[in-house]
Structure 1
Amino acid sequence: MNWQWFVPTKVFYGDDVIKNNASTLKGLGEKAMIVTGQGGSAKRNGSLGDMTEALESMNIKWELFNAIEANPSIDTIHKGAEFAKKHGVDFVIGIGGGSPLDAAKAIAVLAVNDISDEDLFALKFDDVLPIVAVPTTAGTGSEVTPYSIITYPAIRSKKSIFGDKLFPQVSFLDPKYTLDLPLHITIDTAVDAYAHVLEGYLSPRHTLLSDLLAKEALGILGAELRHLAADKPLAYENRNNLLYGSMLAGMVISHTATSIPHALSYSLTYFKDIPHGRANGMVIPEYIKFNLKNSDDPRIMEVIKYSGFEDVDSFIATMRKLSGTVPKLEDSEIEDYINLAYGTKNIRNNVIIPELDDLRTILKMSM
């Protein structure tokens, strides 16, 4: 089997990793732009304070851009890029969940490339400002991926920017930043992380190394999903497991990409405002049923096994409990959503390629 592996990000993991490794920031430039969400969670969980103290200890100036909404739009990215240009920053630090981290990556591109939206998504750019990532949720794994997912109204969906230059140069993962994460966000992001590793394991692009990481992540995240579904309290160990599992899942999809659940979930988020991870979870049970019905690939049942579930039924029950109440979709909405999904590359990144009618069945049965 021929394969390659490339994850150039230097990862620091554990307690107080920003403070203890502040010198790593020194070589990135003299002025940083910190990108965070609008809600102020980076300040409340201590990650913003830790980062600004680290920067100041290295005599690095910084500017704060705290305007990132959930599922950041291309308009917000342009505003961030103008902010970066105005303040003459040398590198970009994303702090938060997937939205600030993905936004930081896209801003790092447009800050030094005067290009149209079409050229941005066509990957017609050269240099990118150095990127630093500090995840404060355990879901996207963006701290170790070359992807930035941006809401793009021109296509009524999300669209990805990707490339080796979008890997963060440095990522700091400290479980304490996730300790006070609200339960609903913890569930949404945990399901997203699990969707990554599930879809990655069932991707035709899987490799020997991605499989090793996926098996580890499936076991860790599967156990934590059952813990969440059982309404048990979350201790530091659970938070640590979720953050570690999310990082592993990010490494997996950095090489395999995602599949059918992600492609279908984008419309649920764009049109129905359902959180991304939860939208994935709503689709996963029928996605697994579709695969089992139409393919004899043993990897499908291996996912259930490595995740620690007794059988398919218990797996589906857990996913449905965590996904919560699903929306009611009109037939016209289903047709619109599946046609939007059918044009994406994700749809064909599966053990079996679905037809449009298969997507219709998956989405209709999911709702």
Structure 2
Amino acid sequence: MIASLSLPRILRVGRGAVGELGDVATGLGLRRPLLVTDAFLAGTGAAERLMTTLREAGLQPRLFAETVPDPTTDSLGAGLDVLREHEADSVIGFGGGSPMDTAKALGLLGVQGGRMRDYKAPHTNLGPALPVIAVPTTAGSGSEATQFTVITDSATDEKMLCTGPAFLPVAAVIDFELTLSMPSRLTADTGVDALTHAVEAYVSRKSNPFSDGLALNAIHTIGRHLRRAYADGEDIEAREAMMLAATQAGIAFSNSSVALVHGMSRPIGAHFHVAHGLSNAMLFPAVTAFSVHAAESRYADCARALGAADDSDSDAGAAGKFVAALRTLCRDLEVPTPQTHGIDKDKWLRLLPLMAEQALASGSPANNPLVPTADEIQDLYAQIYA
């Protein structure tokens, strides 16, 4: 099998790397970047510090701080207006997955126009698009290194997966110091998100030796450090390790694929406005238990990398321990169920057929070791509610 691999052209990784953002941009020949972020990062002064860095490098940046969690087609409109008014030659996504996804979408729409729906999977988007630089502030989405963006259609509440090299950042600046202020809930949710990326990349039907190594290393690192980062947000070693693991997991799934957890997660986020990492965490143990018998040796490798099993365990035994370890991890990180999160049961049950249809339409479940039917997806949604 020939693997088609894509990575950002430039990766700056390490403490203080954000101070080199201006050098990265000028080195790429950029002059008029649009810095895309959210109101929180603008309010803390973090966005203005990046603007200062860019100005000191001789650039003419413009700030757009109106991104929303789980960006929608409606939310892109204001950004496109600012992009065109500024005559931006590039976009910088600064924040978690939502600002980075917004930046990627603006980069493509700013050149090609049209509707975001025109670019959703299974269409592969080759470009052209404005160059994007990604600066993550959470250790989870991996969006800084992926050729994907996820945008919700405001008219239908469909969370659309859009894929292709047009969405791959040309550069990523990865500085773990930006994650030190993350609260424990966000640390947990983004950490499980990164673990899901790594595991699904490894067990995916599109896995390959390149993504396998990155995925297993990320699983090992997350197993050692996620609980520590959750318990103590100022644990520098744990924060640095989680940031690197999140990027490694992002590269892994960008060059392999995600699978059933992500396919089922997107409709939860679209219809109930649950953060992406949290909806992954709600699903992860149950979906793994459903899938594990179709790829025992692959899940056994994940268990050993996580530290849930060792070489003395059979593959079947290790795979079973992996499911148990995920349940324990989610319990330790206090992951709520949809019910305890406050989602109305009647609405949940009423939307099961639509959510199952949307999950399948995304294409991700087809990459799962065990490809589910719509009825099986509905059953899994029903299982996790309480």
Bin the TM-score by the shorter chain. Answer: over 0.9
Which amino acid in structure 2 is aligned with residue 177 of structure 1? L
Give distance in 2, aligned partners of 1:116 and 1:22.
32
Query: CA 1:78/1:116 → structure 2, altered by over 3 Å: closer, same or farther?
Result: same
Give distance in 1, aligned partners of 2:79 and 2:48.
21
Gapped regions of structure 1 (runs ≥ 5): none
Query: CA 1:111/1:19 → structure 2, altered by over 3 Å: closer, same or farther?
Result: same
- How many equivalent pairs are there? 363
Asked whether 1:273 is paired with 2:291, we answer no
Query: CA 1:123/1:155 → structure 2, altered by over 3 Å: closer, same or farther?
Result: farther
Kept in 2: contact 1:149–1:160 (CA 8 A): yes
Query: CA 1:28/1:102 → structure 2, altered by over 3 Å: closer, same or farther?
Result: farther
The aligned residue for residue 282 of structure 2 is 282
Kept in 1: contact 2:192–2:277 (CA 8 A): yes
SS in 1 for 2:134: strand
Asked whether 1:4 is paired with 2:4, we answer yes
Query: CA 1:296/1:32 → structure 2, altered by over 3 Å: closer, same or farther?
Result: closer
SS in 1 for 2:140: coil
SS in 2 for 1:106: helix
Asked whether 1:31 is paired with 2:32, we answer yes
The aligned residue for residue 159 of structure 1 is 160
Q: Which runs of 4+ in 1 moved over 6 A?
A: none
Give distance in 2, aligned partners of 1:42 and 1:252.
31
> How high is the TM-score relative to the length of structure 1?
0.92
Kept in 1: contact 2:226–2:242 (CA 8 A): no
The aligned residue for residue 366 of structure 2 is 348
Kept in 2: contact 1:225–1:318 (CA 8 A): no
Q: How does 1:316-335 map to 2 (within 5 A)?
A: 316-322=327-333, 324-328=335-339, 329-330=345-346, 331-335=349-353
Percent of residue pairs identical: 26
> How high is the TM-score relative to the length of structure 2?
0.88
Query: CA 1:343/1:79 → structure 2, altered by over 3 Å: closer, same or farther?
Result: same
The aligned residue for residue 84 of structure 1 is 83
Give distance in 1, aligned partners of 2:327 and 2:226.
12
Which amino acid in structure 2 is aligned with residue 254 of structure 1? S
Kept in 1: contact 2:147–2:166 (CA 8 A): yes
SS in 2 for 1:89: coil
The aligned residue for residue 338 of structure 1 is 356
SS in 1 for 2:204: coil
The aligned residue for residue 134 of structure 1 is 135
Q: How does 1:199-278 map to 2 (within 5 A)?
A: 199-227=200-228, 231=231, 234-278=234-278
Give distance in 1, aligned partners of 2:44 and 2:117.
37
The aligned residue for residue 358 of structure 1 is 376
Deviation at 1:296, TM superposition (A): 4.9
Kept in 2: contact 1:199–1:258 (CA 8 A): yes
Deviation at 1:123, TM superposition (A): 5.6
The aligned residue for residue 313 of structure 2 is none
Kept in 1: contact 2:260–2:368 (CA 8 A): yes
